[in-house]
Each structure stands twice: as structure tokens, then as C-alpha cells.
Amino acid sequence: MAQVMIEPDGIETEVPDRSPLVRALGQAGVAVETPCGGFGICGKCKVRFVDGKTPQPTDEELRHLTNSDLVDGWRLACRHRLEGDAVIFVPEVSRLTIAQILTTAVERQTKLQPAVRRFVAQVEAPSVSDERSDAQRLLKALQTQHGVDLSPSAIPLSVLRSLPAVLRQSNFCITVILHQAVSGQPLLLSVEQATSDTPPRTQHPAPSTPLLGIAFDIGTTTLVGYLLDLETGEELSHAARLNPQVQFGDDVVSRLCFVMQQQGGLRQLQQAVVRGLNEIVAECCQEANVEPKSIYETVAVGNTAMLHLFLGVNPEPIALAPYVSVFNEPVTVEAWRLGLRLHPNAMLTTLPCVAGYIGADTVAVALTHLWEPEGETVVALDIGTNGEVVVRHQGQYLCASAAAGPAFEGGRIYQGMRAEKGAIAKVELESDGDVRWLRVGTIGGAMPKGLCGSGLIDAVAALLKIGILDGSGRLTDEAADWQKQFINLNGQKAFRLVNPEASELSEGIVLTQRDIRELQLAKGSIRAVTEALLKTVGLDWSGVERVYVAGAFGMFVNLQSAQRIGLLPSLTPERFQAVGNAAGAGAKLALRSVTERKHAFELSQRMKHIPMTGNPRYEGALMEFISFPSRPYP
Ligand code: FES
């Protein structure tokens, strides 16, 4: 065994010798960022060996770390195993932190028709002349009093075990909780002592317990849960977390690689997401002052790979051409099978997916805002770690995904970070006469320590306006008054947005030429997918009545900056609507109503996935939109 001391926390832990360092730190409660999935590509998992045997630098470390860093004991945590006792310093920038997570959304109202319902049943008491079993008498009461035909096999063993005591303690007047999925037989989830508002024949009224459900939006980066009262439809609380799978890679592809390359990788990822969801359940329940055992149903949405990982289904086919999923259909399963800590018989339902890269989250966005086929012509963009686009036009639904990469969430950007305290979220070009300067705004008003997606887009838009970034994306230092802001960073040109003394970082906040290329790829890919879909239905932007922008991106990005870099078209602002976490809103609709689940299924059947690989419309548009528009907007 090896003793590890983690600084500056002072945490001591003991792990088996030769444990992977990232895992050892995680076990001690110090999770390290591993955006590239621990493959030595991103250089963001830096730690310092303060004491103990410092390992020889690897090729990746020679690339990512300076000579003086290496001499000082800095290494990439993902590249090493522990060799004996060690003292490891983990800097703030290498730690996994909670980001600001978008939980609000523009919602759609629906009639309350939950799958889980509660009935009071007056069961006939047995007698010497009535020797039917307790179960038979319960089924008869449900049929005659509520018209519910339940087969004996729909009674779980746990309910059979509790039935005799509950019947007799309640003087045979009991509460029955049933789950009726969109199709198929109802299931009996629970029998309980009747509540205080049941008929007066109840001898032992118990306190009223709520009938709850929880809707999950399982994002690649974030998890959100919404706790609902299924008898009123009211949202009681919500909670959010970073998806703990982030420590295995920051995008879908890194996680798929992890599953394919690591033995037991699928299990680790499944357990990680369930751990995060259970934390959300606990937090929601604490806030609403209720018990997790009052949650009888959960509806989950997420992209196709995330749902595979959540259900423990190997998603390998999604990673390999022709990129098909193992399942697209909705899945209904007992929640305990996945490790969720809810009522022991609670059920889980996932919304349907469309294709390997068009998941239930996109269906949920469509369910919330595009569910009427004959509505106006609309483009819906969901820009997160992945970008998905849906076009609705005269009853047709076309959809596609963009391999945008995580640039909009700060991933693969030299000083990129998620939208959390200290992230530059806003960059504005200010002027006073001939003097011009850049003003930056950070989340929480803290000293700048990196750039998040909206800050990155603002910064690039500002450099275009100044004229020190050309249409091809090349930084040019021709403008004399900005020359002192240019630096050479490890052989590449970079523009310093914030000087070192005004930032948390010794080199200040910089935007590198490579960062600009990453942004070009991301925005070019999303815009090109949108253009290709519009062309497929014979439209241009003049025929688009509304553009819905879902996700945190839509809420926080500056529209003019997104238009200036060419990510969004130059339509008037009234035609854009930021709709927040529309995927989460769709999950809530489906939890509140089984009719909405039917709508979701119908939508998934109507949505036609247009592959972009080898698509000439996409490739032509990508060539055009990878550049920045020469004409500023407006
Ligand atoms: Fe270690 Fe990316 S280099 S996680």
C-alpha cells in the first residue's frame, strides 16, 4: 500500500501501490479534471510531486510542460501510477468544480395525466365463507371500484410481502399506487395504509404522503433533476451537478473511447452517472422536505450515448461507422436495477432517441417547442457539448448533429473553462475618441482565470471588429495600437486579453491562434449543419419564422457576437428565442403526462436524421462558414 498526502488540503489516504494517480486522488475526494479522458492530450490534469518518487516525464509531458515545470515536479496526473508514498499538490485549476448549470426553461403547459396514480381501495375482509387470497380480493376491489384490470403477475414480491399487514392494519381500506405506462399492463407499485383523507371506515389513518416523480436531464457535462408532485403537477425543487463522468472525458467520443479501451469502463461510467443522479435526488428531497421513497417514477432524457451509459448498455456501435445505436425506443425498467435510490418499486422511463447522435434530449426539445407538425417554420438549435439542429417545415422534421467539440463550454481552449466563478463571460470593445480598449466581465465579478464559451465568442467578435483577426481566422498584428497585446506563446501567436496583474494567471488571459481555430471548427460545423438542413427542405433563412436556441448557450451568449462570428444568421433579434433547458422541460412534460410521451414517440418517428458525413451540402457549407464573415453585423 502507498500513503498519499494531498496538498494544500492536508488529506491523507492509503491506496494500493501502483494505483493510477487520478483514481487515487478521486478516492480521496479530490477529483481532477480529465477533459481528454486521461489520454495525455489536453494537458489540463497538472499536479506537482512535492515529495516521494517523481516519475520520469512522458512524451506527453514534454509537450505540455515547460522545462522548469518538469524540474519543479509538475506532471500530468493521468500519465502516472503511484510508486510508493507521495505528497501531491493539486492546484485549483486542475480540480473538477461545479459549474453554473442552467435549470430554467421556457415551459409549455400540459394537462396532468401522470403514469403513476393513487387509488383508495376498500378490500373485502376474508371470512370462513370467503377464502380468496388477499391478492385476489385486492384485484377484485381494483376492478369493481376503479375499473383497473390487473393481472396477478403485476404484483411485485415486495408488495405481496407487505400486503397482509397493510390490509389488516388499515381495516382493509388501503391506498394502492399503480403505474400505467403508455401501453401495456398496469403495474402495482405499492400498497400503503390509507391516508387521513380516505373514507371514515379507516381505523388507522396514516399521515398523508406525497406522490412524487423526478425528471432527469442527463447531459454530457451536466445533470439536472426536477422533483414534481404527480397529483398537482407542481415543481417542488430542482438540483444540478456536473456529470461525474466528466472525469473520464469531457465529450461523448472520449467516453466511448474509455468504454472501449478500459476493462470495466462501462460499469465505472454507469455507476458515476447514477451516483450523480442519487445526489440530485437527495438534494431535491431535502429542499422539498420529502423522502426519496415517495418518488414512484422517473423520466430521463439525454443524448443517445448518455442513455446507453446510464442503462449500462455498451454504446460501442455508436462510436464506429455507421454509428448506429443499440436502441432508440423508449425503455421502461425498475429504477432500482440501475442503482437509483427512490421508492423500491419506482419505475424509470427514457424518452425515445432518433439515431446514434440524435438522442432523447433533442426529442425533448422538439416536444417542448415543435410538437405541432403544422406550426410555423422553425429552426431549433441545442448547443452544448454536442450541437443538434432540428428544422420543422410544413409537417417535416429534419435533424442532424454537429461534431462541434466542447469549445463552447471552454473545452480544448488554452485557458478555457466552464461558466463558473472567475470565467470571462463578456468582452466588450470600449472607446473614448481614438483610444480603444477591451473591457472584460467575469462570472461572480471575480479576478479572471479563464474564458468560458460566451466570453470566447465575444472576444473573437471584438478582435474581428478591431481588425486584428482576418476572415480566414488569422491573427494579424497590423494595428499599431494593439501590438503590445500580442505575445508568442510556446511558438504560436496569441492575443493577451487581460494583463497578468489583473488576472489569476501568471501569463494573463490569452487567446491563442489555436483557440481561434477550435472556435472556427465548432461554429462552422453547427452553421454548416443548419444550412445543409435548410437546403434539404428547399429553404433559406428568409423562410424561417423563428429560431429557438436551447441550452445555456442561448441564455448567456451575446446575439450580436454570435452573428458577428457567423455562428447565427443575421436575422432581426425578435426572430430568436432563447428557451433555456428545453430538454429538461420536455422531460417534465413527459413525467406529467402519458399523452406527452405518446407525442414524444410520434415525434421521434417523424424526425428524419440527415447524416452529414459525406453530405455535399454540408461539406460545401463548411468550407464557407469555417471562415468569419467579412461584413460586420449589423
Ligand atoms: Fe491528462 Fe488530458 S492530459 S486528462
Quick check: CB of 75 below 6 Å from ligand 1?
A: no
What pTM was estimated for this model as a whole? 0.85
Per-residue pLDDT, averaged over 53-67, amounts to 90
Quick check: CB of 78 below 6 Å from ligand 1?
A: yes
Give me the chain's average pLDDT, please. 90
Mutate to test the pocket of ligand 1, among 25, 61, 78, 412 (most ligand atoms within 8 A of CB): 78
Q: Is residue 574 over pLDDT 90?
A: yes
Q: Is residue 548 over pLDDT 60?
A: yes
Per-residue pLDDT, averaged over 78-94, amounts to 89
C-alpha of residue 199 to centroid of ligand 1, in Å: 63
Mutate to test the pocket of ligand 1, among 32, 74, 76, 81 (most ligand atoms within 8 A of CB): 76
Quick check: CB of 166 below 6 Å from ligand 1?
A: no
Give the nearest ligand 1 atom to 64 CA.
3
Given this model, what pLDDT does residue 203 score? 42
Given this model, what pLDDT does residue 283 score? 96
pLDDT tens by residue, 106-123: 899 999 999 999 999 999
C-alpha of residue 324 to centroid of ligand 1, in Å: 28
Surface-to-core class of residue 389, CB atoms within 10 Å of its CB (0-12 exposed, 13-18 middle, 19+ buried)? buried
Quick check: CB of 73 below 6 Å from ligand 1?
A: no
Q: Is residue 521 over pLDDT 90?
A: yes
Q: Is residue 208 over pLDDT 70?
A: no
C-alpha of residue 76 to centroid of ligand 1, in Å: 6
Given this model, what pLDDT does residue 633 score? 44
Which residues, listed in sequence order, are joined to residue 334 by a DSSP beta bridge? Answer: 347
pLDDT above 70 covers a percentage of the chain that reads 96
The C-alpha atoms of residue 66 and residue 46 are separated, in whole angstroms, by 12
Per-residue pLDDT, averaged over 291-306, amounts to 97
Confidence of residue 98 (pLDDT cuts 50, 70, 90): low
Given this model, what pLDDT does residue 562 score? 95
**223 φ, ψ (degrees, to nearest 5):** -120, 135
Q: Is residue 131 over pLDDT 80?
A: yes
pLDDT above 90 covers a percentage of the chain that reads 65
Query: What residues contact 279, with CB distance under 8 A and at least 6 apart?
Result: 239, 241
Q: Is residue 196 over pLDDT 60?
A: no
**475 φ, ψ (degrees, to nearest 5):** -75, 130
DSSP structural state of residue 58: P
Distance of CA 365 to the CA centre of its chain: 13
Quick check: CB of 43 below 6 Å from ligand 1?
A: yes
Per-residue pLDDT, averaged over 610-628, amounts to 94
C-alpha of residue 469 to centroid of ligand 1, in Å: 30
Per-residue pLDDT, averaged over 244-263, amounts to 86
pLDDT tens by residue, 313-327: 999 999 998 999 999
Per-residue pLDDT, averaged over 227-252, amounts to 90
Given this model, what pLDDT does residue 206 score? 47
Given this model, what pLDDT does residue 493 score? 92
Given this model, what pLDDT does residue 27 score? 67
Ligand 1 atom 3: residue of nearest CA: 40
Q: DSSP of 553-596, one letter per residue?
A: HHHHS-HHHHHHTTSS----GGGEEEEESHHHHHHHHHHHBHHH
C-alpha of residue 406 to centroid of ligand 1, in Å: 15
Q: Is residue 566 over pLDDT 90?
A: yes
**What crossing angle do the helices spanning 582-592 and 360-369 adopt, rounded to 10°?**
80
Quick check: CB of 31 below 6 Å from ligand 1?
A: no
Quick check: CB of 41 below 6 Å from ligand 1?
A: yes
More confident residue, 27 or 424: 424
Give the nearest ligand 1 atom to 42 CA.
2
Q: Is residue 197 over pLDDT 60?
A: no
Quick check: CB of 254 below 6 Å from ligand 1?
A: no
Q: Is residue 421 over pLDDT 90?
A: no
Candidate ranges 3-12, 25-34, 342-351, 504-513; pick with highest mean pLDDT: 342-351
pLDDT tens by residue, 271-285: 999 999 999 999 999
For 421, the 3-state DSSP assignment is coil
Give the nearest ligand 1 atom to 77 CA.
1
Sign of the Cα torsion 459, 460, 465, 468 reads: positive
Cis amide linkage into residue 8, ω under 30° from 0? yes
Quick check: CB of 246 below 6 Å from ligand 1?
A: no
Quick check: CB of 34 below 6 Å from ligand 1?
A: yes
